[in-house]
Chains A and B, each alone.
Chain A
Amino acid sequence: MADDMLACSLEPRSEMLAEDQVLVAATRQDTEAAGRLYDKYYSEILGYIYHCTLNRTVTEDLTANVFLAAFAHLGRHRWTQIPFRAWLYRIATNEVRMHYRRQKYGMTAGRRARHGTSEDTAPSADTSPAATEEYRFVHQALLQLRLKYRTVIILRYFEDKTMAEISEITGRKEGTIKSQLHRGLAQLQEILMRWGVLPE
């Protein structure tokens, strides 16, 4: 045992404990730690949900749901299975899924959510209208796909996630992700060709 401890003693503590792990462990007693975790991931999760829904009001509502749920259930989080970042993405993906399910059955997500008005769907001022229009077109095409295909395409191409990261977020094997990505892209290509966006 002493030898194990000696081996560990040569490893710096900063490497031994990843920042997220320490922050999560401290969050129950320390609101500052919770604040740091929130600041670290707010923009990333907001951006992901916005790319999934393209609706500002819905995005803000769902992002609030994600963080409130995550911090309320931190105890359920299992470190050895999934990193905190992937866990947040997983909650966000579920929130988006629930949003579309509610929409399908005519319910609303949160107090204010509704079908996008031009004000809701408009991005922040630093994005050009032409770029937004292009993404809106892609988003419309993505909405024609099954949610599982849509999710992997958004994570891969708009959130720049690796296959391994997508696998952690969705809880599926990398082989399954590759297959879903391929099928989703094939369907998306067909839709975009039909709409005349891509040449035959």
Chain B
Amino acid sequence: MDSNIEKVERYLKGVHVPQHVSDPHRQQLRRRVLGRIEETQRASGHPRRWEVTAALAALICIAGAVGAFVVLKYYAVGQGPASANRFVSEDRERAHVLSTSDTNDVMGIGQAAGNLGDIDAARQKDGTELVQIIESEVNGRLANRMFIRKCTLSDGRMKTVGEGDPDSRVQSLLVTLPTAARREMSKLRQAGKGETLGTQERQMKGRLFLFRRERYTLHDGTTVILSVGEPKDMRQPRPGVPAGSYP
């Protein structure tokens, strides 16, 4: 900082800043803010008569065709690694990450969020096919499990989506690889330096899956085992996890 303003800078740093605390105001304003939100929720829960009629008609048609299911809205909540877009459902129970190519593939982030709602609906209608399960173990502990599903969107397009395993609660066992380790892992995979551990058969989601396992050892001694499982009864073997970047 310029010597010309050193005096005032020093002075300001030494000034004792008064604080104002008002618990009654905090409580009163809290009630007002939450009251407004509840009012908005109630208002959106009491639509006009024509809206009720239209919604009922639509519901009767849909329920007759596919049975009742809930379609959740998704919101874009920012960007993740490699500019992947992150989405979270309105009930906060589901989170998705779509790569930039996925979101560019469609009309934009809004459309991508809409597609996630479609995918939820397809899943509830049992309109998806589980085509792959990917597991990663770090130093012998399960780090994560992903289900890769193929589903048809409302406009007829096929989409492959991945989701974390909601049942096994693997989050509690989560073992995280630092970014540098993930990069190293990516390079090892690109170079094909994994050690093949053979195959393993397991019953998952009522179907027999054949897992191909590969072990990678990082420079610090961390071992990562990737298992890629595909349904045994699938006619053509799938190529498995493509070796690409590992951000």
Contact = CB atoms under 8 A, between A and B. Distances in A.
A2 B148 contact: yes
A118 interface: no
A62 B167 CA distance: 46
A185 B17 contact: no
A16 B86 contact: yes
B132 interface: yes
B247 A7 contact: yes
Report which residue of B88, B138, B241 has the largest number of chain A beta carbons within 10 angstroms of its beta carbon. Answer: B88
A151 to B, nearest CB: 14
Contacts of A124: 18-22
Contacts of B146: 5-6, 9
Given A10-B136, A198-B11, A31 B80 contact: no
A141 to B, nearest CB: 9
Interface string B219-247: 00000001000000000000001111111
Given A17-B88, A21-B78, A38-B33, A11 B5 contact: no
B20 A42 contact: no
B78 A80 contact: yes
A88 B247 CA distance: 33
Contacts of B182: 7, 10
A117 to B, nearest CB: 15
Contacts of B148: 2, 5
Given A3-B245, A7-B247, A8-B81, A182 B5 contact: yes
A25 B33 contact: no
Interface in B124-138: 132, 134, 136, 138
Contacts of B88: 17, 21-22, 25-26
A189 B7 contact: yes
Chain A interface size, as a band, is 35 or more
Contacts of B79: 80
Interface stretch (A92-100, A126-134, A161-169): A126-134
Contacts of B186: 7
B176 interface: yes
Contact of A186 (B4, B22, B92, B177): B4
Given A9-B136, A46-B22, A71 B162 contact: no
B187 to A, nearest CB: 13
Contacts of B174: 12
B102 interface: yes
A101 B232 CA distance: 73
A16 B116 CA distance: 18
A8 B84 contact: yes
Contacts of B246: 3, 6-7
B5 A135 contact: no
Report which residue of A5, A17, A80 has the largest number of chain B beta carbons within 10 angstroms of its beta carbon. Answer: A5
Contacts of B20: 46-47, 50, 56, 59, 123-124
B8 interface: yes
A64 B29 CA distance: 6
A185 B97 contact: no
20 contacts: A2-B132, A2-B241, A3-B246, A5-B97, A5-B146, A6-B134, A8-B84, A15-B176, A22-B92, A28-B90, A29-B91, A35-B30, A39-B30, A43-B21, A46-B22, A67-B33, A123-B19, A123-B20, A131-B18, A186-B8
Interface of A: 1-13, 15-18, 21-22, 24-31, 33-35, 38-39, 42-43, 46-47, 50-51, 54, 56, 59-60, 63-64, 67-68, 71-72, 79-80, 123-124, 126-128, 131-132, 134-135, 138, 153, 157-158, 182, 185-186, 188-189, 192, 197-199
Given A8-B80, A188-B12, 4 more contacts: A2-B241, A10-B177, A22-B92, A123-B20
